[in-house]
Amino acid sequence: MTRTRTVTTDDGVRLWASRSGTGTPLVLCHGGPGLWDMFEDVAELLADLATLHRWDQRGCGRSQRCAGPWTTDRFVADLDAVRGHFGLRRMALLGHSWGAQLALSYALAHPERVSALVYVAGTGIGPDADWHPQYKVNFLARLGEHPERLARWRELTDRPQPTDAEGRERAVLQWSAEFVDRARALEHAGRLADPWFGVNTDCNKALNAERRRTGGTAQLSVACRELDLPVLILDGAHDIRPRSAVDSLERALPRVRRVVLPDAGHLPWTEDPQGFRGAVADVL
Q: What is the pLDDT of residue 2?
A: 79
How many C-beta neighbours within 10 Å does residue 42 have? 26
Q: What's the pLDDT tens digit per position in 210-248? A: 999 999 999 999 999 999 999 999 999 999 999 999 999
∠ CA 122-222-113, rounded to 5°:
65
The mean pLDDT value for 246-256 works out to 97
Burial letters for 209-243: b for 16+ Cβ neighbours within 10 Å, e otherwise?
Answer: ebbeeebbeeebeebbeebebbbbbbbbebbbbbb
- Domains by residue range for the chain, with CATH: 3-128+199-283 (3.40.50.1820)
Q: What's the pLDDT tens digit per position in 102-159? A: 999 999 999 999 999 999 999 999 999 999 999 999 999 999 999 999 999 999 999 9
Answer whether 119's CB lies under 8 Å from 224's CB. no
Q: pLDDT confidence of 49, banded at 50, 70, 90?
A: very high
pLDDT of residue 31 exceeding 90: yes
DSSP conformation letters of 139-198: HHHHHTTSHHHHHHHHHHHT-SS--HHHHHHHHHHHHHTT-S-TTTHHHHHHHHTSS---
Task: Report the share of the chain in percent with pLDDT over 70.
Answer: 100
Which of these, 99, 97, 171, 107, lies nearest to 135 by C-alpha position? 97
pLDDT of residue 1 exceeding 80: no
